[in-house]
Amino acid sequence: MTLKRRIAVNVSIAFSVIYGISAIFIYISFSTFRKEEFMERLEEKALTTTKLLLEVKDVDNQILKLIDQNTINKLYNEKTLIFDSNYKLIYSSIDDASVKWDVNFLQKIKKHKRVYTIEKEKDVLGVFHIYNNTDYYIIIAAEDKSGMSKLEFLYQILILSFFIGTTLVWVTTYFLIRKSLEPLDNFQKIITSISINKLNTQIIESSKSDEINLLSKAFNQMLLRIERSYLAQKEFTSNASHELRTPISRLTLQLENLIQQGGHNENTLNYLNNMSKDVNQISDLINSLLLLAQINASNFGVNFQQVRIDEIIFQVYEKTIKNFPDFQMNFEIENTESDLEIKGITSLLEIVFANLFKNAYLYSYDRKVNVIIEDNPTGNIQIRLINKGEKLSPEEEKKIFNSFVRGTKNQKIQGSGLGLRIAKRILDLHKAKLAYAYEDASEQHEFTLTFPV
């Protein structure tokens, strides 16, 4: 999850939780307020009815019931019961509604003075009243239609506003954060496009003192330091190449002349030949290092052209057999509908196959390599180079594409340990993949090159 989405989600979740808690608090508060208000109405009605019954002597039960029935503040589905101190019912309203009661409930009323319960859809209130030193128990029940409808309406409003508000906050928060972090996206695009040939690229700085601008300034300073280090390294590489290649070339020429003069005994001739091989190996190592540095430093992308990969393979094979006449290649094209053209640089691709062919020749049992060109499942061109040879150790297999890595069993074979590293680096430049595998049953090394089409 991106930083923008993570911030937007966290802010939105925090709002949703806070709003949800607030909505619950509002609902509970209003529900409590409704209950207390309705209890006051019930108590007022109960005491009024009791006073009429006890204080107005001319009012009998029938008249009281009529008054109770036609009162302006009549409660919905109301039922009123009045008991004397002996728990005898002395008054009951004419409503058809019924209220459950027993002596225990009346005793509870006396103990707590006021008892509130809910019976189905009714609010039931029990009130203890003393008149002329006589105890009276009043039970009144009614439905709070108005209060419950208001509570239901409030519930719907809170639910609707929660979903609408949450949706608006989620959408608004995401777009606001996206807008706020847009400079960070631009920053990411710029630094992604920076390569070793664009170290002089500068991130645009603003007059603001926010974190993104501070990050831009710090990144520009880092690029400046990297560019200076790279220029110093490049200058050193150029000077070292000139200083090293000149004496090595002289040594090679002098050794060749000395060997060609003849007149040496066998030991001296062997010694000179070994020296010549060592000097040539040093020369190859210097050339490989310089080539690797050039690949890392140069921008070859502008020189990419459409080239046929099969033609490059045959050209490299012809050059290889001049140095290794007993080298053999078996070439096959299988299950491919491609025209075998890729975008690349011929000279660099020739180096790739030259290193792979040399590797196959030096580290194989029979001096043979099988080259198979085919389409992989994704439609890209896949080239497999297969040769039989001794298995590497697991540790060596993991580091096969690293610099200066050579098998412990092949130390007698001349090499710099840079061939596969250079091939891998060139293929990376072409956005191609190089993979290695070994099959124990057939004792085969297999290098797989995958080129995008």
State pLDDT tens for residues 230-254. Answer: 777 767 766 776 677 778 888 888 8
Average pLDDT of span 423-447: 88
Instruction: Check whether residue 273 and residue 286 sit in a common domain.
Output: yes
Average pLDDT of span 46-57: 77
Domain finish residue from 297, 328, 349: 297
Percent of the chain at pLDDT > 90 equals 17
Quick one: pLDDT band at residue 277, thresholds 50, 70, 90?
A: confident
Instruction: Check whether residue 335 and residue 366 sit in a common domain.
Output: yes
CATH at 361? 3.30.565.10
Instruction: Check whether residue 223 and residue 274 sit in a common domain.
Output: yes
Instruction: Check whether residue 28 and residue 69 sit in a common domain.
Output: yes
Q: How many domains does the chain have?
A: 3
Least confident of 58-72, 293-307, 413-427: 58-72
Quick one: pLDDT band at residue 197, thresholds 50, 70, 90?
A: low
195 pLDDT higher than 80: no
Instruction: Check whether residue 368 and residue 414 sit in a common domain.
Output: yes
With CA atoms as reference, report the closest residue to 123 among 22, 233, 23, 38. 38
Q: Give the structural domain span for 258.
A: 211-297
Average pLDDT along the chain: 81
Instruction: Report yes or no on 228 lying in a domain.
Output: yes
Instruction: Report yes or no on 381 lying in a domain.
Output: yes
With CA atoms as reference, report the closest residue to 360 among 446, 282, 288. 446
* Full-model pTM: 0.50
**CA 382, 383, 387 angle in degrees (round to 5)?**
145
Per-residue pLDDT, 143:
87
Per-residue pLDDT, 410:
54
Instruction: Report yes or no on 158 lying in a domain.
Output: no
* SS (HEC) of the chain: CCHHHHHHHHHHHHHHHHHHHHHHHHHHHHHHHHHHHHHHHHHHHHHHHHHHHHHCCCCCHHHHHHHHHCCCCCCEEEEEEEECCCCCEEEECCCCCCCCCCHHHHHHHHHHCEEEEEECCEEEEEEEEEECCEEEEEEEEEECHHHHHHHHHHHHHHHHHHHHHHHHHHHHHHHHHHHHCHHHHHHHHHHHHCCCCCCCCCCCCCCCCCHHHHHHHHHHHHHHHHHHHHHHHHHHHHHHHHHHHHHHHHHHHHHHHHHHHCCCCHHHHHHHHHHHHHHHHHHHHHHHHHHHHHHHHCCCHHHCEEEEHHHHHHHHHHHHHHHCCCCEEEEEEECCCCCCEEEECHHHHHHHHHHHHHHHHHCCCCCEEEEEEEECCCCCEEEEEEEECCCCCHHHHHCCCCCCCCCHHHCCCCCCCCHHHHHHHHHHHCCCEEEEEEECCCCEEEEEEEECC
Domain finish residue from 111, 136, 153: 153
115 pLDDT higher than 60: yes
Per-residue pLDDT, 318:
92
Average pLDDT of span 65-77: 57
Instruction: Report yes or no on 182 lying in a domain.
Output: no
Q: How far apart are CA 124 and CA 118, in angstroms?
A: 6
CATH at 50? 3.30.450.20
Instruction: Check whether residue 43 and residue 137 sit in a common domain.
Output: yes
Instruction: Report yes or no on 165 lying in a domain.
Output: no
Do residues 386 and 370 make contact, with C-beta atoms less than 8 angstroms apart? yes
Instruction: Report yes or no on 167 lying in a domain.
Output: no
Q: 342-380 pLDDT, tens per residue?
A: 888 888 888 889 889 988 888 888 899 999 998 877 778
392 pLDDT higher than 50: yes
Per-residue pLDDT, 314:
93
Percent of the chain at pLDDT > 70 equals 84
